[in-house]
């Protein structure tokens, strides 16, 4: 690109010797053929001889950009060392360094700009106003925002919809550029458009032990790698949730990196304990300098979807809601002050139920759920629905993984990715702004080349204008048999969401359709008297139209416990459980106890009528419930199918799965001779399309008329899952 070179000379009067000192600012700007939302980059060639070129309190080069009479946009410059990638893939430093300014124009036409230099103990110097012109380019959509039409969904600046098909690609510990070129290419080929990336100290973090606090000189190679990854994302139309701080950097207990953290006093830092990071104002000022550099260098990019301030912040030491909430509020305010492009902002927690005080902050733009312990994927439906209902903000499942321990990945237990397929579809139509984002990108997804699992979903949502269809949760979620005469009443199963905390709710109503109200709050930890302050034993209320069994499956135990299952005020089962009696036992000397994995079911008989069941641990440490199951419960007319979806008055998007089908049971019995009804539709002729979510293959397509606002669809026989799309063909398009 041809560059325009400017040399501006300023005369500064020195008060000491009363002579004239000529100071020049030598810079280049790439304004040839610039389109809206393209990068404007200014190279400052002068060396201002600052002691620390990364310390904004001693040296700052600012760019000022003005469109017509609008408010001037101020952006910080940043110091950079240039690198290049050799033919052999080595990353080689090629210059001693310089200052840059990056800016993204968001309007076509004439722009004015100037540069100003601030240094310690000297008067600022500045250029005159200069001009560049920005042309239109309809291929550039702009930055992603919360939609003003429907604030649960996202759209670009040009109002085109953005629905996230996402996964974690948080880091590479191998050949970074080759890994990301392969991952992003395969992901893009299969419709992926959204990733999560960490500025981890072992990856592209810019401040660590070798740099000290506030000097990023020794981490310029890592910064270069992030530049290159964002360039790849730009070329492939992939958007990035950039996580700024991993929890282990400020934890001694969980994935700890504290020993090498430059904020650690032992490394000539500022803090005796990790938790002081959230309260020490000197440390906060130092961290803000890092934020300032990050925003200056990468804040130009429309491909940065959002700043994720912290990963799973509750894993930091001595978590305190008030301190964490106030820290987030201050940091977010600082980011908003600097980020002229107004990227979205969020944070994250490992515990799906944490932390209301942070999620309610008005400048947290969207919520996330992280969840590990997936059994068949359907858990993500409840968790997503709960978050959206509680906070009325856009939501996405930012991380999820299966409940199979390390063996799931190590032994490649699901090479076909059935667990992933079920999970991303189960969470896709919950009014979240994108599909759930799986973990294990390198040792599972890449290893098995499972990027193809995203293609059917990406194709399915391609032409949906989520923010314009006034979507809400599917009204009717049951599949019915056409003839229930010979059908056996179905069972219902409820998996737990285990979190080490006092359960927030302990009474759960199970309705006639086999749904547990507030089931996302069913905590699997059942505490004994050792943890009396944590006890809140679950109670289940139901009406059984015929006798059945209530089954409890326990999958983990700590020390000695006594399981009690109480039915209608009477203890029907009392069972002593000892971890030391199981072959998987492991001794923990720090607590002087055994813990063990187990897989054992315990059951009681349920009579017909109203029932209340309590599961208790009357004495001991804790055990963990994997699920409860109630047999002979469902109306025989209801097929054993899990359904999730969303609808408007002229459209609906539905996913349904045979409840017996999972990565553990790939040969579930066929479900046939069934139908599904979609209610509260406008009258008209509807096009329906049914596909196989695993292959993307179209199973059937046709047209149906509504009758009194209802559309009845006969379903094809299926063993695994179906996805259904309906659209009113008689809706008239209105002119804008």
- Cβ neighbours of residue 711 closer than 8 Å, sequence gap 6 or more: 677, 678, 681, 686, 688, 704, 726
Q: What percentage of the chain reaches a pLDDT higher than 90?
A: 82
What span, in angstroms and rounded, lies between the C-alpha atoms of 682 and 697? Answer: 29
Each residue of 270-324: pLDDT tens digit?
A: 999 999 999 999 999 999 999 999 999 999 999 999 999 999 999 999 999 999 9
What's the pLDDT at 406? 62
pTM of the complete model: 0.89
pLDDT reading at 560 higher than 90? yes
What span, in angstroms and rounded, lies between the C-alpha atoms of 574 and 576? Answer: 7
Please report which confidence band the pLDDT of residue 733 belongs to, taking 50, 70 and 90 as the band edges.
Answer: low
Give Rg (Cα) of the chain.
29
Residue-averaged pLDDT of the chain = 92
Side-chain half-sphere exposure of 320, counting CA atoms within 13 A: 11
Give me the phi and psi of 3, to 5 degrees please.
-115, 145
Which stretches does DSSP call E strand in 263-326?
304-308
For domain 473-483+638-728, is the CATH number 2.60.40.1180? yes
Please report which confidence band the pLDDT of residue 520 belongs to, taking 50, 70 and 90 as the band edges.
Answer: confident
pLDDT reading at 112 higher than 50? yes
SS3 content of the chain, % helix, strand, coil (to 5): 20, 35, 45
- Asked whether the beta carbons of 628 and 620 are under 8 A apart, the reply is no
CATH H superfamily, domain 492-630:
Galactose-binding domain-like (2.60.120.260)
pLDDT reading at 586 higher than 70? yes
Rounded mean pLDDT, 656-677? 94
pLDDT reading at 732 higher than 80? no
- Cβ neighbours of residue 352 closer than 8 Å, sequence gap 6 or more: 369, 370, 371, 383, 386, 387, 497, 499, 520
Q: Do domains 4-134 and 473-483+638-728 have the same CATH topology?
A: yes
Rounded mean pLDDT, 543-547? 92
SS3 420: helix
705 bridge partner residues: 685
Each residue of 144-170: pLDDT tens digit?
A: 999 999 999 999 999 999 999 999 999
Q: Which H/E stretch holds residue 65?
A: strand 59-67
What span, in angstroms and rounded, lies between the C-alpha atoms of 43 and 37? Answer: 19
79 bridge partner residues: 99
Of residues 634, 643, 572, the one with CA closest to residue 606: 572
User: Per-residue DSSP letters for 25-59?
Assistant: EEEEE--TT-BTTPPEEEEE------S-TT-TTTE
Return the higher-pLDDT residue of 20 and 579.
579
Please report which confidence band the pLDDT of residue 376 belongs to, taking 50, 70 and 90 as the band edges.
Answer: confident
Q: What percentage of the chain reaches a pLDDT higher than 70?
A: 96
Of residues 582, 610, 609, the one with CA closest to residue 596: 582
What span, in angstroms and rounded, lies between the C-alpha atoms of 361 and 364? Answer: 6
What span, in angstroms and rounded, lies between the C-alpha atoms of 360 and 170? Answer: 26
For tokens 């209608």, the residue is 568
Pick the CATH number of 194-352 from 2.40.30.10, 3.30.230.10, 3.40.50.150, 3.20.20.80: 3.20.20.80
Each residue of 4-58: pLDDT tens digit?
A: 443 333 333 333 332 223 346 888 998 878 999 999 999 998 878 889 999 999 9
Cis peptide preceding 355, ω within 30 of 0: yes
User: Per-residue DSSP letters for 504-541?
Assistant: S--EEEB-TTS-BTTGGG---EEE-GGGGGG----EEE
SS3 318: coil
Q: Is the dihedral of CA 295, 301, 307, 311 positive or negative?
A: negative
Rounded mean pLDDT, 428-438? 97
Rounded mean pLDDT, 607-611? 96
Each residue of 351-367: pLDDT tens digit?
A: 988 999 999 999 999 99
Each residue of 250-276: pLDDT tens digit?
A: 999 999 999 999 999 999 999 999 999
Domain chopping of the chain, boundaries? 4-134, 194-352, 473-483+638-728, 492-630
pLDDT reading at 618 higher than 50? yes
Rounded mean pLDDT, 203-214? 96
What span, in angstroms and rounded, lies between the C-alpha atoms of 525 and 555? Answer: 11
For domain 4-134, is the CATH number 2.60.40.10? yes
Read off the tokens for 150: 């429907």
Of residues 676, 672, 682, the one with CA closest to residue 709: 682
Of residues 240, 239, 646, the one with CA closest to residue 425: 646
What span, in angstroms and rounded, lies between the C-alpha atoms of 313 and 274? Answer: 12
What span, in angstroms and rounded, lies between the C-alpha atoms of 395 and 428? Answer: 11
pLDDT reading at 409 higher than 90? no
């Amino acid at each position: 690109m041809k560059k325009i070179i400017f040399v501006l000379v300023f005369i500064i009067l020195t008060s000491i010797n009363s002579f004239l000192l000529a100071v020049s600012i030598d810079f280049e700007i790439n304004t040839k053929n610039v389109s809206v939302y393209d990068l404007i980059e200014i190279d400052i060639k002068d060396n201002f001889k600052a002691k620390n070129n990364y310390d904004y309190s001693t040296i700052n080069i600012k760019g000022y950009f003005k469109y017509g009479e609008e408010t001037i946009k101020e952006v910080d410059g940043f110091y950079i060392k240039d690198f290049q990638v050799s033919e052999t893939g080595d990353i080689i430093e090629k210059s001693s360094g310089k200052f840059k300014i990056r800016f993204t124009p968001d309007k076509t036409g004439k722009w004015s700009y100037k540069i100003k230099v601030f240094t310690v103990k000297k008067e600022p110097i500045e250029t005159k106003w200069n001009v560049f012109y920005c042309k239109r380019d309809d291929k550039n959509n702009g930055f992603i925002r919360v939609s003003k039409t429907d604030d649960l969904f996202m759209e670009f600046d040009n109002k085109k919809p953005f629905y996230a098909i996402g996964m974690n690609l948080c880091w590479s510990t191998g050949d970074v550029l080759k890994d990301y070129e392969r991952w992003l290419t395969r992901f893009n080929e299969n419709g992926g458009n959204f990733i999560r990336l960490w500025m981890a100290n072992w990856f592209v973090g810019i401040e660590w032990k070798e740099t000290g606090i506030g000097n990023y000189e020794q981490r310029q190679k890592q910064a270069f790698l992030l530049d290159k990854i964002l360039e790849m994302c730009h070329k492939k139309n992939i958007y990035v949730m950039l996580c700024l701080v991993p929890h282990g950097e400020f934890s001694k207990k969980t994935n700890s990196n504290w020993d090498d953290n430059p904020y650690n006093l032992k490394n000539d830092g500022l803090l005796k304990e990790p938790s002081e990071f959230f309260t020490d104002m000197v440390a906060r000022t130092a961290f803000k300098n890092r934020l300032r550099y990050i925003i200056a260098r990468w804040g130009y990019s429309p491909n940065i979807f959002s700043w994720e301030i912290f990963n799973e912040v509750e894993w930091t030491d001595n978590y305190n809601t008030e301190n964490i909430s106030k820290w987030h509020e201050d940091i977010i305010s600082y980011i908003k002050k600097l980020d002229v492009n107004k990227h979205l902002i969020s944070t994250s927690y490992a515990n799906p139920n944490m932390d209301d005080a942070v999620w309610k902050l008005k400048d947290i733009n969207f919520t996330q759920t992280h969840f590990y312990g997936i059994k068949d994927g359907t858990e993500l439906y409840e968790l997503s629905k709960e978050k959206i209902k509680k906070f009325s903000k856009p939501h996405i499942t930012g991380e999820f993984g299966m409940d199979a321990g390390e063996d799931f990945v190590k032994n490649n237990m699901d090479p076909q990715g059935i667990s992933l397929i079920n999970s991303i579809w189960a969470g896709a139509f919950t009014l979240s702004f994108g599909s759930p984002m799986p973990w294990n990108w390198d040792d599972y997804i890449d290893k098995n080349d499972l990027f193809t699992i995203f293609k059917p979903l990406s194709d399915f949502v391609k032409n949906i204008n989520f923010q314009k269809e006034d979507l809400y949760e599917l009204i009717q979620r049951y599949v019915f048999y056409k003839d229930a005469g010979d059908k056996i009443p179905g069972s219902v199963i409820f998996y737990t969401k285990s979190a080490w905390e006092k359960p927030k709710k302990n009474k759960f109503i199970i309705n006639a359709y086999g749904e547990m109200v507030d089931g996302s709050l069913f905590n699997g930890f059942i505490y004994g008297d050792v943890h009396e302050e944590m006890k809140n034993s679950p109670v289940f209320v139901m009406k059984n139209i015929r006798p059945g069994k209530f089954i409890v499956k326990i999958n983990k135990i700590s020390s000695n416990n006594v399981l009690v299952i109480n039915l209608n005020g009477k203890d029907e089962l009392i069972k002593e459980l000892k971890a030391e009696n199981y072959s998987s036992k492991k001794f923990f000397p720090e607590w002087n106890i055994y813990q063990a994995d187990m897989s054992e079911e315990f059951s009681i008989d349920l009579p017909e009528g109203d029932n209340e069941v309590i599961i208790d641990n009357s004495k001991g440490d804790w055990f963990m419930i994997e699920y409860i199951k109630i047999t002979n419960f469902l109306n025989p007319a209801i097929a054993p199918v899990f359904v999730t979806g969303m609808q408007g008055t002229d459209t609906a998007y539905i996913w349904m799965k045979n409840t017996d089908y999972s990565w553990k049971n790939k040969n579930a019995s066929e479900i046939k001779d069934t139908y599904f009804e979609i209610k509260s539709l406008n009258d008209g002729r509807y096009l329906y399309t049914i596909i196989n979510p695993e292959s993307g293959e179209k199973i059937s397509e046709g047209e149906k008329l509504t009758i009194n606002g209802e559309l009845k669809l006969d379903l094809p026989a299926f063993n695994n899952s179906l996805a259904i799309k309906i659209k009113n063909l008689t809706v008239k398009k209105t002119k804008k």
